[in-house]
A and B are shown apart, each in its own frame.
Chain A
Amino acid sequence: MTSFVYKFLSRKDLWILPLGLFVIVLLLPALGYEAGFLRQMILISIYTLIVAGLNLSFGFAGEVVLGQVAILAFGAYTAGILSNHGVVDLSIAMGLSLVVAAVVGLVTGLPGLRLSHMALGLITFFLVLLIPPLALAWESETGGYTGIFGLLDPTFFGIPIDTDGALFFVSALCAGLWLIIFRNLVLSRYGLALRLLKENPLLASSLGQSVRSLRLTAYVVGSLPAGIAGVLFAYATAYVAPTSFTLQLTIAVLAASVVGGAQSVYGAVVGSALLVLGPLNADAFEKYSLIVYGAFLVLVGTVFATGLTGVVRNGTDRLRRALERQLSASDPTDEVVGSSAETLDLTIPGEALTVRGASRSFGEVKAIADVDFSAQPGRITALIGANGAGKTTLLNAIAGAITLDGGTVELGGVDVSSMSAAQRARAGVGRTFQTPMIPASMSVEEVAASGALINGGLKPLSAILRLPAFRRQRREDATVARDALGVVGLLDKLDEPASKLPLSTRRLLEVVRAVAGKPKVLLFDEPAAGMDDDAIDELRALLLQLRDAGATIVLIEHNISFVLGIADDVHVMELGRMIASGTPAEIRADEKVIASYLGSRPVAPAVTPTGGGQHE
């Protein structure tokens, strides 16, 4: 029994469950449900569409655009105005409202390219307040405050939709199809890229993703379902007026998203159902309905801050892992996957990196001044120096995270100075960060697979349709990820939430991610910081293995004994200038370096085979 449950929970094809449920839901009208119930279901479908859009842009991409209700209004007005002109086919209205929604979503999201999340979020939160003046300004078509009424009996591809059951069928169909699209989209390279963006735009660009186009597509794609919902809303209420689109509706949508779990696909349904069946029916409390509704928001907001689906997911994960422990204890031969590090045939053809005359100032401070630097394939090139010496600035300049005031960066003889960070990542610059950036929502395997994003496109359409090309790519990415994880022995943790791993494992994982795409140069920013000795040994082994595989490695590190023990070439920086370059032995002996850096801080006793580290 336990083993059955375990196997069931571990299955990858659990999507069959929601799909089956969807088919059953579609059949509800045929089962003779009451119209009152079907009306609620129509509303749930409409909410689901809106919330799903919000979940994509807000939950997955981390872009706080809350203008969904305004877009709903645009969709509804599209349907209403078409109907005024005699066009009552839902498919035409939906097609047009998709275009309208995309445009509105893009325009309202644009400030997000510049504004902080908070500012964008709060501005779009109040966006719906602009619907009435807009409707009034175009009164001839919108009917001004009176609105457009009498939206009855539409058709859908020519088929009359004249009962609640039929309208419900269309609504549920739209919501269900969108959820499938949504699911396929987030469980794809595109979804990975969005989650990288949410964690940090720097991270997304370091993996070859254009932050700008990711954001813009998130605004557009997140708006589309609200446009469809608007058409359904117009016909469900038979009426479109500015008074229908309220701040309250915005709040309800946000609450549904938070309650269901913003970063989930099916959470949209759960949250919508809860809101529609619960507090939005608080009318029964008559004049106390406001109190009941408010109390509900406080309650669910505090209890389910991570979202209901988050609660459920954590629960099943815990159950699965508990079962896993139980099973492996009772049957030691039933080892799921090997956990020891393997040595694979690994080649990472590196290229030479050359920096000439790099300068960059922040205000009055010259972070780096006229720095020359180079790193060769098959060698570990270390960059050391006190805090504030300009090491990370140089690294960022190489990766394209900051632009240089002067100087050039060449990779394999090609000048990449004018490329953006994303372009450089695609040209073969891989990196890690001082503070590990591991998206909270990703599994270990996904983190590793996201490293493969620097090669090939996101191909969202292919992902939505699950085309053979998508499946091929997914297999390739999985192989890349597993190969890379195999090197550090993380194969037994494939499905674990990566952000829950200990710091040293997360640092290793970052290295794995940077390596997965086999970039031409690898930039590691203090990978050993905060690691214990065992982990450092593991890191050392990994770095040496990468070096032997042919990689060009640049390493910033404060652990002097570690870095001098492993590096082939060492560069020392001080106050933005390069003060010494040479082999570890030369550097150890360099008077200037001893005086300015090595001498100034105690160095941990050597534990490395090459010894060293006793520099006073």
Chain B
Amino acid sequence: MTIIWTGIALGSLYAIAAVLYNLTVATAGIFNFAAAQYVMVGVFVAFVIQGELDLPLILAVPAGAAIGGLIGWLTEVAAVRPLEDKTGWAPLVTTVGASVVIEGVIYAIWGADPRNVDSILPSDSLTIFGGRLQATDLALIVTAVVLCTAAHVVHSRTRWGLMGRAMTNAPDTAAIRGINTKRLVTGSFVLAGSLGGASGVLIAPKTGAVFSLGATLVVFAFAALTVGGFGSYVGCLVGGLIVGLIQVHTERYLGSSYPLLIIFGTLLVVLLIRPTGLFGDRRIRLV
């Protein structure tokens, strides 16, 4: 059972990262490669607040949200807005560029060593259903579930979500209907940045602050998003959990060299059976 909890906690981490990717995919039809870096930034904000400034870790929530949001906004302004055609592969190149810049800045300041961040929650292990997990892990799981559910409700029930869906399906028509598509695109980047930045406070105690975190997350978050289906926040959660559980079980029973092989195999099977992923919105086409 412990291993299942581990998989769920890890999957929740992937789910949160997948939500950041899905925000711009579902709202603006753009795969923002840099999204996982917002989590990495958030984790470093947590480290600086606790490790360098000796402030209460909880301050990392507003600070992470502000800094992450700013970086999300900068990503959009620098790497996406200047593009005439936002649907081709140019955004992949430019957002990869943004991702490398973010990683590079953190690396230039803090180097490659990971830094430890202590949780604000008690560090005792809990035993639930016969498996052990940390309070931090539990918080992470709860956060992922709440975040995905909330995002799903917003996306499917509110005006903002409606505008986003209108835009990904038919940007021209959406613009004609008076939807401010530009603000919507920018908003999705800022929101992804803020959420990523704020989530650092929960993720840092689990992963430590290390500059390569974003690059690690992107692969698994992408897998989670694809299995779950582009455009679906429920898909993010389900996809994240599937990927997390596959990973830990492969590591446990086969060895650490093989999770990626198995995950990509699963991905392929899911896509061949359901090309849109488990919960995907078939109208979303990035290319």
Where the two chains meet, the residues of A that have a C-beta atom closer than 8 Å to any C-beta of B are 58, 64, 111, 114-119, 121-123, 126-127, 129-130, 132-134, 136-137, 247, 251, 254-255, 258, 262, 287-303, 305
B88 proximity list for chain A (CB < 8 A) = 305
Q: Are A301 and B79 in contact (CB under 8 A)?
A: yes
Alpha-carbon gap, A121 to B89, bound state (A): 10
> Interface centre among A111, A258, A294, A300, by most B CB within 10 Å?
A294
Query: In the complex where A123-B226, A255-B93 touch, is A133 in contact with B261 (Cβ < 8 A)?
Result: yes
Whether the Cβ atoms of A290 and B264 lie closer than 8 Å is: no
The contact string, 1 if C-beta is below 8 Å from chain A, for chain B 96-119, is 111111111101100100000000
Q: Which of B89, B108, B264, B287 contacts A287 (CB 8 A)?
A: B108
B226 touches A290 (CB 8 A): no
- Tell me the nearest residue of chain A to B286, going by C-beta: A118
Q: B94 within 8 Å of A by Cβ? A: yes
**Interface residues contributed by chain B, number (CB under 8 Å):** 46
The listed residue (B104, B219, B222, B276) touching A291 by CB distance below 8 A is B104
Complex contact B260–A129 (CB within 8 A): yes
What 14 new A-B contacts, CB under 8 Å, besides A133-B261, A294-B101, A302-B79? A111-B268, A111-B271, A115-B271, A116-B276, A116-B287, A122-B31, A123-B271, A130-B264, A254-B89, A258-B89, A291-B104, A300-B93, A301-B93, A303-B82
A133 to B258 CA separation, bound complex (whole angstroms) = 6
With A118-B285, A123-B264 as contacts: A302 and B83 at CB distance below 8 Å: yes
Among residues of A, the one whose C-beta sits closest to the C-beta of B267 is A123
In Å, the complex CA distance between A114 and B271 comes to 9
Docked complex Cα distance between A254 and B108 (Å): 25
How far is B90's CA from A21's CA once the two chains are assembled, in angstroms? 29
User: Which 9 A-B residue pairings sit nearest by Cβ, starting from the closest?
Assistant: A297-B97, A290-B104, A294-B100, A294-B101, A301-B94, A291-B104, A298-B97, A117-B287, A302-B82
Contact B287 A294, beta carbon cutoff 8 Å: no
Assuming A133-B261, A287-B107, A305-B88, is B271 touching A119 (CB within 8 A)?
yes
* Cα–Cα, bound, A118→B281 (Å): 13
| A-B residue pairs in contact (CB < 8 Å), sample of 29 | A58-B89, A64-B89, A64-B287, A111-B268, A111-B271, A115-B275, A116-B287, A118-B31, A118-B286, A123-B268, A130-B261, A133-B260, A247-B215, A287-B111, A290-B100, A290-B103, A292-B104, A293-B100, A294-B101, A294-B102, A294-B104, A296-B97, A297-B96, A298-B79, A299-B97, A301-B97, A302-B79, A302-B83, A305-B90
**C-alpha gap A122/B285 in the complex (Å):** 13
Nearest to B276 among chain A residues (CB) is: A116
- How near does chain A come to B109, taking the closest CB pair, in angstroms? 9
Residue of B nearest to A303 (CB): B82
CA distance A117 to B215 in the complex (A): 23
Are A295 and B271 neighbours in the complex by a CB distance under 8 Å? Answer: no
Contact residues of B between 62 and 83, Cβ < 8 Å to A: 78-79, 82-83
Residue of B at shortest CB range from A300? B93
List, in ascending order, chain A residues with CB within 8 A of B258's CB.
133
Complex contact A254–B219 (CB within 8 A) = no
A128 → chain B closest CB, angstroms: 11
CA distance A111 to B274 in the complex (A): 12
Is B226 in contact with A297, judged by CB distance below 8 angstroms? Answer: no
Report the Cα distance A127→B84, complex, angstroms.
29
Interface residue B184 (Cβ < 8 Å from any Cβ of A): no
Give the chain A neighbours of B90 by CB distance below 8 A. Answer: 258, 301-302, 305
Q: Closest CB-CB distance, A282 to chain B, in whole Å? A: 10
How far, in Å, is A550 (CB) from chain B's closest CB? Answer: 42
Task: Return A185 CB to nearest CB of chain B, in Å.
Answer: 22
